Amino acid sequence: MTLQIVWFILWGVLWAVYFTLDGFDFGAGMLRNFLAKDETERSVALTAIGPVWDGNEVWLVTAGGATFAAFPNVYASMFSYLYLPMLLILFSLIVRGVSIEFRSKSEGARWHSFWDWALAISSFTAPLVLGLGFGNIFQGLPMAADGYRGSFWGLFNAYGLLTALLFVALFLQHGALWLEYRTGGSLAERSRSLASKLWYAVAALTVVFLAATAFATKLYDNFLASPLWLVVPVLAVASLVGVRLFHARSRAFAAFVASCATILLVVATALVGLFPNLIPSSLDPAASLTAFNSSSGPLTLKVMTVVACIFVPIVIVYQFLVYRFFRAKLTRADIAEGEY
């Protein structure tokens, strides 16, 4: 296995982990104003993500850094061709972080309401634009030998919007399951009820997305060439069914883990379909950016591999300890004098 293939896999793993971890932060942020019925419940919901959201966002920074170092041409093209979407994502992440940290700086009701809605809107915008961007990457960007021929508004095509809706629905379900698992009382019950309803929306969008992918993209070509890889989307569907089965038996943590597996496997399905492309061209296959024609030199990839082998396990252990430390359910009594 060449280092280009190794880093294609690692690149995909970093994005998959980011979507899985920050996905429930986005979902909880979107749902918080609608599920929480009073100030204490809003504090409970915010505290459910408060200790972990910034650590989860580290995986996005790592994925971006890995793209820059391992596939510099891809990094440059993404920030050139998709500049406005990337800028919208950046602004959304900034507003989300500021909303979480600034809310507690004043006791005024209007102050709290402003930052509550800023959190909800930014938590919706980021996954929507991420889904839109990746949907367009899945079907290929209009790239030719002389450069990019697309426009910002051209990204708002049917398949791109469908992928964006799927991202939002997956993260909404993920966030509802997280709030059900981490909180107690009536907030957990409302989260449970909504998660049950959201599952049907996710399932319907998944069916439509899989069908549309056959017509709008070439992601299925690798699966047809090597049918053994079909185990990946099959497992993705099975994990989504597992969410429903575990949830129906009131096993909140197991349902959340199944939701994590669903997101991981959905990303894995896309990666198998994309390989070896990182950004395929919809105009000329020769203009596509692949793991082989856009990678850094062998020495850079070797150094990066050593660094990743040292520091990625450290990050994983650290995050495991954080999640373990904050694993107890949150109640109204716990948050009465809380930070948020």
Cβ pair 125, 88 in contact under 8 A:
yes
Q: Exposed, middle or buried by CB within 10 Å (0-12, 13-18, 19+), for 153?
A: exposed
Does residue 153 lie within any of the structural domains? yes
Residue 151 token pair: 């426009």
Residue 140: left if φ>0, alpha if ψ -120 to 50, beta else—which one?
left
Note whether residue 45 is domain-resident: yes
Give the pLDDT of residue 18: 95
Query: Is 340 among the domain residues?
Result: no
For residues 269, 272, 276 and 277, what is the CA-based torsion angle, rounded to 10 degrees? -20
CA 132 to chain centre: 12
3-state secondary structure of 149: coil
* Domain contains 188: yes
Domains contained in the chain, number: 1
Coil/strand/helix, residue 214: helix
The verdict on residue 240 lying in a domain is yes
pLDDT of residue 1: 60
Q: Smallest Cα–Cα separation from 9: which of 295, 224, 259? A: 295
How many beta carbons lie within 10 A of that of residue 265, not counting itself? Answer: 21
Question: Phi first, then psi: what are they for 213, rounded to 5°?
Answer: -60, -35
Between helices 72-81 and 53-70, what is the axis angle to 10°? Answer: 110
CB 45, CB 32: distance < 8 Å: yes
Distance in angstroms (rounded) separating the CA atoms of residues 288 and 297: 19
**Host domain of residue 132:** 3-335
β-pair partners for 279: 289
Q: Measuring CA to CA, which residue among 207, 208, 206, 233 is closest to residue 219? A: 233
Q: Is residue 163 part of a domain?
A: yes
Q: Does 149 reside within a domain? A: yes
What DSSP line would sit under 51-113, residue for residue?
A: TTHHHHHHHHHHHHHHHHHH-HHHHHHHHHHTHHHHHHHHHHHHHHHHHHHHGGG---HHHHH
Asked whether residue 331 is assigned to any structural domain, the reply reads yes
Tens-digit pLDDT string for the chain (340 aa): 689 999 999 999 999 999 999 999 999 999 999 999 888 899 899 999 988 898 899 899 999 999 999 999 999 998 889 999 999 999 999 999 999 989 888 888 899 999 999 999 999 999 999 999 999 999 999 998 888 888 889 999 999 999 999 999 999 999 999 999 999 889 999 999 999 999 999 999 999 999 999 999 999 999 999 999 999 999 999 999 999 999 999 999 999 999 999 999 999 999 999 999 999 999 999 999 999 999 999 999 999 999 999 988 998 898 889 888 887 787 666 655 444 4
